[in-house]
Structure formats: structure tokens, C-alpha cells
Amino acid sequence: MENYKEVYEEWLNNPIFDEEAKNELKKIENNEEEIKDRFYKNLEFGTAGLRGIIGIGTNRMNHYTVTKATQGLANYIIKKGGQNRGVAIAYDCRNMSIEFSEQTALCLNANGIKTYVFDALRPTPELSFAVRELGCMAGIVITASHNPPEYNGYKVYWEDGAQIVEPVDKEIIEEVNKVVDFSTIKTMKKEDAIKQDLYHIIGKEIDDKYIDALKKLIVNQKAIDDVQKNIKIVYTPLHGTGNVLVQRILKEIGFENVYIVKEQELPNGNFPTVSYPNPEDPKAFSMALKLAKEINADVVLANDPDADRLGVYAKDYVSGEYIQFNGNMTGNLIAEYILSQKKANGNLPENGAIIKTIVSSNLTDAIANAYKVKLFSTLTGFKNIAKIIRNFEENNSYNCLFSYEESYGCIIGTHARDKDGIVAVMTICEATAYYKSQGLSLWDQMMKIYEKYGYYKEKQFSITLRGAEGAEQMKMMMEKMRNNPPAKIGKYTVKSIGDYQKQIIHNNETGEEFDTNLPKSNVLYYDLNENAWCCVRPSGTEPKIKFYIGVCGNSLDNAEEEMNYLEENIKMLAEEAQK
């Protein structure tokens, strides 16, 4: 906003904003940069909802921006006649999560819309499950996933339990953008909402049904029964929502030796033991690995704060070291485990399917092909995977066995329509038991997968560009790369370029062009020779431009060499685009 100073003054003087908010703003009256960052734009309600730094301002997560979004959503639900079906609401451990969930519920209630609010913090996948279980019109979860402590967010789910997709996302965004006057946002007292049968508290009954749904996804209970006494599992919820349900499911399916990292067990929105509560970050595992070494654990697991992602370290029985699995490794280990077990049991359906995102490993293609299972690829974001699952059901076409994305998220089956770190914990522990019964560690099994299909390796790096200037720079970088397509990247030949903004894949070898058959998205994909590739996109939730790269070598060392070479050349391409 050009007039950010005027908007700042408006918030200082308008009686709609309370004294606490005004006092926070008065403290920054001499800080021009801070005022600009808080007011240069409205916190955008995008296709994933809201995510931002907690604080007062139009570009912050606060009572006003959260209820503005909720009022827009309420208007849309009323248009669709979904008031009585209601909205399920969950929240994580973050600062202000309880308050934002309450304010959201009471805004919906004041609009005549029923709400079903969890009695305490719950994982995001359970919210997805609850939406369908309760027959709700929509769902909301207050979370900023694995972002740093100063962030919070607001994710909207639709009646199928998936995050909103076209055309619903754009229609909701339109309604949210129409709410320009904060005085039009409705609310009511909680006691009145309860009296009027609008505000409902949910908890144990949904937990029980969710846990039952997870148990049905076990593919080899005998393996757990045979060796679970000899398996040692270390788990950390990283101060988040996974603790209670992870402990419950592991206990109920038979695992006895589950060790929780005590310092990280209790919910805490400040995440005091980690600088960044992300299971992709090795630093987040320091306490868990210390405990693992003390007790000689087989596997070390961490969920992110809203428990939709899972990080894994597995013990190498030969060296005694713990080896980190990235999201692609975990995804492919699970894919191979589920498909091989189902095939061995005679339960592999003829119409079986696996779904991955375009930035995930090409190893998955090889695994799917080996088991004659159909592979589908889609854009980044689990909502796009959920859309394919919905199409399977509507057309009665494919049976989705497993879906994953490289950013440490997956789901076994279709009980929820978002990535599920709880079911991932369960399945990794089951796989650990099975492979241990075969005398193998998870790392041994990963090596067997590489020997069978090829030594696939992937990596991601980002360039962070903050604030208004950063957003403009990201836009310019994408435009430069789009308008100057390379024929080669280092020694690699660019076989084709997918421009998902234009929805076209251009084959450089034949000159032909094909439709991506996917929604528009600001993504460029370079398919290279020798099974290498690169994908570039701006992050939808952080001020970053992301680069994903993949190679296939003939050994671990060779794959590492190829990866380093490709990364170096991609960075040169990125530097050129920044000039």
C-alpha cells in the first residue's frame, strides 16, 4: 500500500481497534521500516489461507485480520447454505492459537454457523479427518506448521477434508477481500453461542475414530507382534501436537519401548529447545539423537508442531551411526514397504495408485513401475494430491495406496485429506519391526532400494528475499528465467521445460508443446538428461524462492558428485537471474 502511513494512523485513531492494539503501535511510531512492514500490504488470504508474523497491523496475524478472514469465509458458507453443517476448528501449540480459534468460532457463530471446536490442541491431520467424520461444510486449523515461533497461520479446509482448491479457494478469497470495514465483522459471547446450540466442543470421540482408522492401515501386524519387544523408538513432538496420539497409537498396536524426549514433550509456542521447529533441520534432532545413543534406539522420529510432517533418523547397525532420511527417502521407503507387503499378502489392487508432487523423487516412478501401480504427479501442496484422490472416488477409478511430497509429508490410504505425521510414525515403526525381523535396519533397506532401482538423490536450496523489495525481486527472477530458457545446464541437456504458469511443457528435442493438465502455478521445471531435473518456484508461505534438484547415480558417491555439480550450475543460473 502506497499510503501505509495513513493506514497506520487510521489504526491508531479508529475506535474499532482496542487500546492494547494501539499501545503496541505507539511503541513503533519512530520506526519507519517496522511501520512499513506491518502496513505496506494486507496479510494476503491466499489459497492456503493466512500465514504471518503475530502482531498488530494489516500485514500481521492478529484478532482483526483473523476475524476479517473468518467473516469472508462465513459469507461464503452462508451463500452455499452450509450454516447447519458447520465448521470444525483445531489449533496447535503456537502463541495465540487458542485465542485465534476462539475468535474464529465466535465470529462464525455470530453469523449463524455451527462450530465444532477441539477441547485442546490437535494435529492438523485429525482436523482433516474430523471434517468428513462430522459432515462439516468446512474446517479451520490455526497453525503455522514448522515456521519460526513468531508466526501463526489459518488454514481452511472444505467438505472433503482437503485444503481449499479451485474454484472454491478463489471464491472464498473474493469474499474475504470484500470485507474492508472492520466494523462489519460479527462476533458474540461464548455463553450465548453455547446456549443457542452454535458452539460445540469435541475431543475424545473423534480421537477414538481417528485411531481406529489408522489401525486399519497396518499391513503386517505379525511383524510388530514378533519383534516389538526388541525395537527401541525415540520420539519428539518438538513441543507440538503429536505427543498424545503418537504415544497412544504405538502403545495400542503393541510397541512397548517408546522413549519420549522429555524436554520437548510439553506444548510450548516459544519452542525453547529449538531455534526452528522443523523436522527437516538436523538441529531439531539434537536432543532426540542424544537420547537415542544413550538407549541404543533403532529409529528416531520427530513431528513438526502441527504433526503433519515427519523427520526420521535410522540407526546403521554396522557403523552405529544415525543416518538422516530426507522426505524423499522416507516417502520411497514407505512406498516400497507398503507395495511389497501388499504384493506378498496378495492384497495389491489392480487399480492401485501412488501420488507424488512434481518436486519429489523420480525414484517413486521406478517403484510404481516395478509393482505395476499407476503413478500420478501434481503441483506442490497436499491439497493438489487430495484433489486427485477426490477424482479417484468420484470416478471410481483408482485405489490410492500412498501419497507423499518431498517436504516430509505423506499419507497412507485416504482416511484424511492432508499429510499425516501420526500415521507416518506408525508405518515407519511397523517397517522398522518388519525389516528388523529380516535382520535389516531401515538404512540397510534404503540401500537395497538404491541397489534395486538406482542411486537417486535430491536436494533443495532457497534464496530468501524479505519484505516488499524481496517480493518484487522474486517476481523479476521468475520472469527472467521464464523468458530466457537454457538449452543446457552445465553438462546436462535440457530435454524439456515445463512452464506451469503457461500450463505448457515444451520439448526442446522435437519442438512439440503439451498441456501440463494441471492448474496454473508460478513454477518452472527443467527435465534434464541422465534422469536429472530441476524445479524452481516461489514459496507460498515464506519469503523464499525455492530450487529443487534431483540426479540418479550409479553409487552413493557418484550421486553425491552429480548432485554437487548440478547444484553449482543451478546456482549460477539463479545468480544470473538476480542481476
Alpha-carbon span 344 to 134, nearest angstrom: 36
For residue 167, say if its preceding peptide bond is cis, omega within 30 degrees of 0: yes
Q: How many Å apart are CA 41 and CA 61, to the nearest integer?
A: 13
Active site residue 397: no
Radius of gyration from C-alpha coordinates of the chain: 24
- Contact present, 304 and 240 (Cβ < 8 Å): yes
What's the 3-state SS for 77-104? HHHCCCCCCCEEEEECCCCCHHHHHHHH
**Could you tell me where the beta strands, DSSP code E, fall in 75-218?**
87-91, 115-118, 138-142, 151-158, 199-202
Residue 120: count of CB within 10 angstroms of its CB: 12
Contact 300, 288 (CB under 8 A): yes
* Torsion, CA 168, CA 171, CA 172, CA 178, rounded to 10: 180
Hey, which residues does 352 pair with through a beta bridge?
Answer: 399
Q: What is the dihedral of CA 16, 18, 23, 24, to 10 degrees?
A: -90
- Catalytic choice (128, 145, 377, 407): 145
Report the C-alpha gap between 263 and 241 in whole angstroms.
15
Other C-beta atoms within 10 Å of 26: how many?
9
Determine the Cα–Cα distance for residues 316 and 348; give it in Å rounded to an integer.
Answer: 30
**Cα(257)–Cα(45) distance, integer angstroms:** 44
* Start-end of H helices in 14-89: 19-26, 32-39, 63-79
What CA dihedral angle connects 237, 427, 379 and 479, to 10 degrees?
50
Q: Which residues are catalytic?
A: 145
